[in-house]
């Protein structure tokens, strides 16, 4: 093969034995002339005479000739021979042995290990231990002087309150080792079998620390066999800006996507008091009531778009029980509906968001209905209207019309004395021509004019009015509009302002009050799905924690073991 201009390999004495694996090399090696013997294993130079001359003397005499004894390996006897004093003339000059590259690397390894070990000792026993091993800043609520003052253990090196959650933190590193080993034994939270389990960690000792402040623990549902550890969902040490409420939806589907767990929960639910499942809502709020299935909400769910069941308020036979008669379609699209401030009515004419923007304020007659439905009794005096809100008040008003006309005249016309009395008499006479008697007037106000098309000026236009025995006030069924339609979910209108109301609420085609105008699941899933591109996380609508019903506390609740036993009972 041609060298192609490459330098040929230099010649060298390949009979010499190099010792790259030795720890020490001859100090003359870098000069290219190492001694043949090389340093000792401990790095001492072994240079010296190449032989030990032998005195050859005739028998019986002490004087003789010194003979070279250099071995053949070293070139055999030297030509000059030993010195006259019997010392060798071929003395290898001494050197300062140097470490081989391999030895230097080994030394560097040992130095690095020593440095790391020293660093570990400083970390474990130094004053910065807590700061050094802290895997990340805590959220402000779980850190700071106030937290430390409230939760630090007395008498131990715990300046940040770590011991409140990590009981091992103030112990010695040796105990950490035994604690770590204990966490790996079968049945322990971090045992290998637990790591490959699909289940989130059970409620564990650290959660007791959480509960010492977050009491009482708001359990999920009474039929859950295992309470999940707080730290399984709420990850701390992720930075000061970490949102502890942001939970990975996989924690939900770990149970709700598991048929066996849902079957256990269903079995347990059938054995428990239904009162335990009462959803607690804000005082004074009215929730849309839908019967809870005996087995609870235990359908298998792996994602919102695919197998989340239809919202229960759309279950067959479910109607809006509000007794008020209201035609959404007519109000939104009817040609006969008068303009309001020059505009046609729209959803926002009646439905106004609350302060947070999340939910809608209740529709109020005075604010949203009265401008059209103002209940006048006298066309000539439109300012005189029947009060709304109480049948008794309306009836009392109708029976004291002279006082009502008088007050109206005083306030509106500024009359008094004789002119006032004449004005009232005139009005009452005119009204008498329209309504022959007080009973007829009351009947018209409460029940409308049976001889005329439905007007806008009687209670029965919107309310169910039941006739009462003679002399009694008719009963008017009040409107019952739920404040919360889906108590097990939450919705924020403010975050959906880019969507038209009618895109979700089919109000323009609804003519009956019994229509449930809440959107169906498919409507929500059109956006809240992987295809829609908007989050379909469980926590977007649902919360895990479910405050217990009034009078039920965690301690009075079933312990996990009993729940498991109940679930597995035949």
- Tell me the C-alpha distance between 296 and 277, whole Å: 8
Own/partner pairs, 522-529, CB within 8 angstroms, 24+ separation = 524/304, 525/304, 525/305, 525/308, 527/499, 528/304, 528/305, 529/303, 529/304, 529/305
| Binders in 225-264 for other proteins, by CB under 8 A | 229, 231-232, 237-239, 248-251, 253-254
Give the N- to C-terminal CA distance of the chain in Å, as an integer: 87
Q: DSSP string of 298-318?
A: ----S-HHHHPPPPGGGSTT-
| Binders in 44-103 for other proteins, by CB under 8 A | 101
- Tell me the C-alpha distance between 55 and 86, whole Å: 8
**Does residue 112 bind other proteins (CB under 8 A)?**
yes
Q: Given candidates 6, 317, 470, 555, which one binds other proteins under the rule CB under 8 A?
A: 6
> CA dist 364 to 114, 281, 376, 387, 480, Å?
78, 22, 18, 14, 12
Q: Pick the piece of the chain touching other proteins (CB under 8 A) from 48-56, 135-143, 267-275, 496-504.
A: 135-143
**Which residues are paired to 533 by β-bridges?**
none
Q: Pick the piece of the chain touching other proteins (CB under 8 A) from 12-20, 364-372, 380-388, 484-492.
A: 12-20
| Binders in 418-447 for other proteins, by CB under 8 A | none
Q: Given candidates 58, 60, 84, 135, which one binds other proteins under the rule CB under 8 A?
A: 135
| Binders in 197-216 for other proteins, by CB under 8 A | 197-202, 204-207, 209
Q: Which residues contact 139 (CB under 8 A, 6 or more apart)?
A: 236, 240, 242, 244
* CB-nearer residue toward other proteins: 239 or 387: 239
* CB-nearer residue toward other proteins: 173 or 274: 173
Q: Pick the piece of the chain touching other proteins (CB under 8 A) from 115-123, 262-270, 407-415, 463-471.
A: 115-123
Q: Given candidates 1, 56, 149, 196, which one binds other proteins under the rule CB under 8 A?
A: 196
**Does residue 131 bind other proteins (CB under 8 A)?**
yes
- Cβ-in-10-Å burial (0-12, 13-18, 19+) of 381 comes to middle
**Does residue 188 bind other proteins (CB under 8 A)?**
yes
| Binders in 339-398 for other proteins, by CB under 8 A | none
Which pair of structure tokens corresponds to residue 265? 């929960």
Pick from 78, 111, 90, 77: nearest CA to 37: 90
| Binders in 137-176 for other proteins, by CB under 8 A | 137, 165-169, 173, 176
Q: Pick the piece of the chain touching other proteins (CB under 8 A) from 10-18, 52-60, 440-448, 491-499.
A: 10-18
Min separation Cβ 252 and other proteins, Å: 10
Q: Pick the piece of the chain touching other proteins (CB under 8 A) from 24-32, 357-365, 431-439, 555-563.
A: 24-32
Min separation Cβ 241 and other proteins, Å: 11
* CB-nearer residue toward other proteins: 86 or 126: 126
Pick from 123, 101, 102, 120: nearest CA to 112: 120
Q: Given candidates 1, 2, 15, 20, which one binds other proteins under the rule CB under 8 A?
A: 20
- Tell me the C-alpha distance between 347 and 360, whole Å: 11
**Does residue 195 bind other proteins (CB under 8 A)?**
yes
Q: Which residues contact 351 (CB under 8 A, 6 or more apart)?
A: 360, 361, 363, 501
């Amino acid at each position: 093969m041609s060298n192609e201009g490459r330098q040929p390999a230099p010649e060298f004495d390949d009979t010499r034995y190099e010792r790259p694996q030795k720890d020490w090399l001859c100090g003359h090696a870098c000069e290219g002339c190492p001694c043949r013997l090389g340093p000792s294993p401990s790095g001492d130079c072994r240079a010296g005479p190449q032989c030990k001359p032998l005195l050859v003397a005739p028998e019986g005499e002490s004087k003789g000739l010194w003979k070279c004894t250099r071995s053949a390996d070293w070139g055999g006897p030297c030509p000059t021979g030993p010195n006259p004093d019997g010392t060798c003339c071929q003395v290898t000059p001494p050197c300062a042995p140097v470490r081989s590259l391999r030895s230097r690397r080994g030394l560097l390894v040992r130095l690095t290990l020593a440095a790391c070990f020293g660093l570990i000792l400083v970390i474990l026993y130094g004053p910065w231990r807590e700061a050094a091993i802290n895997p990340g800043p805590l959220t402000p609520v779980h850190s700071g002087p106030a937290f430390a003052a409230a939760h630090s253990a007395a008498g131990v090196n715990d300046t940040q309150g770590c011991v409140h959650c990590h009981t091992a933190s103030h112990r010695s590193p040796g105990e950490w080792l035994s604690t770590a080993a204990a966490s790996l034994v079968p049945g322990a939270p971090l045992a290998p079998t637990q790591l490959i389990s699909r289940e989130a960690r059970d409620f564990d000792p650290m959660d007791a620390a959480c509960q010492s402040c977050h009491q009482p623990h708001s359990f999920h549902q009474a039929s859950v066999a295992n309470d999940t550890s707080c730290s399984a969902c709420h990850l701390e040490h992720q930075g000061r800006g970490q949102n502890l409420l942001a939970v990975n939806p996989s924690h939900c589907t770990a149970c709700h996507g598991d048929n066996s767990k849902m079957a256990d929960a269903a079995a347990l639910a059938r054995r428990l008091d239904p009162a335990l499942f009462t959803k607690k809502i804000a005082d004074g709020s009215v929730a849309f009531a839908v019967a809870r299935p005996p087995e609870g909400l235990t359908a298998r769910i792996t994602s919102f778009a695919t197998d989340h069941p239809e919202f229960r308020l759309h279950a067959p036979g479910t109607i809006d029980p509000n007794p008020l008669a209201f035609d959404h379609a007519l109000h939104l699209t009817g040609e006969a509906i008068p303009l309001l401030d020059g505009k046609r009515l729209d959803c926002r004419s009646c439905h106004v968001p609350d302060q947070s923007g999340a939910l809608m304020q209740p529709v109020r007659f005075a604010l949203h209905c009265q401008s059209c439905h103002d209940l006048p009794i006298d066309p000539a005096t439109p300012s005189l209207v029947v009060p709304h809100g109480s049948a008794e008040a309306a009836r009392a008003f109708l029976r004291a019309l002279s006082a009502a006309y008088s007050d109206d005249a005083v306030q509106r016309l500024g009359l008094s004395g004789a002119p006032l009395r004449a004005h009232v008499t005139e009005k009452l006479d005119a009204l008498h021509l329209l309504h022959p008697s007080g009973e007829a007037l009351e009947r018209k106000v409460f029940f409308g004019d049976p001889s005329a098309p439905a007007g806008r000026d009687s209670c029965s236009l919107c309310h169910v009015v039941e006739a009462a025995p003679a002399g009694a006030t008719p009963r008017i069924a009040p409107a019952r509009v739920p404040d919360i339609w889906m108590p097990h979910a939450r919705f924020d209108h403010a975050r959906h302002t880019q969507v038209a109301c009618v895109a979700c609420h089919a109000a323009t085609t609804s003519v009956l009050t019994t229509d449930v105008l809440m959107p169906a699941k498919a409507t929500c899933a059109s956006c809240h799905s992987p295809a829609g591109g908007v989050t379909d996380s469980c926590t977007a609508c649902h919360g895990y924690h479910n405050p217990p019903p009034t009078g039920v506390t965690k301690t009075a609740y079933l312990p996990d073991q009993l729940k498991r036993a109940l679930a597995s009972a035949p």
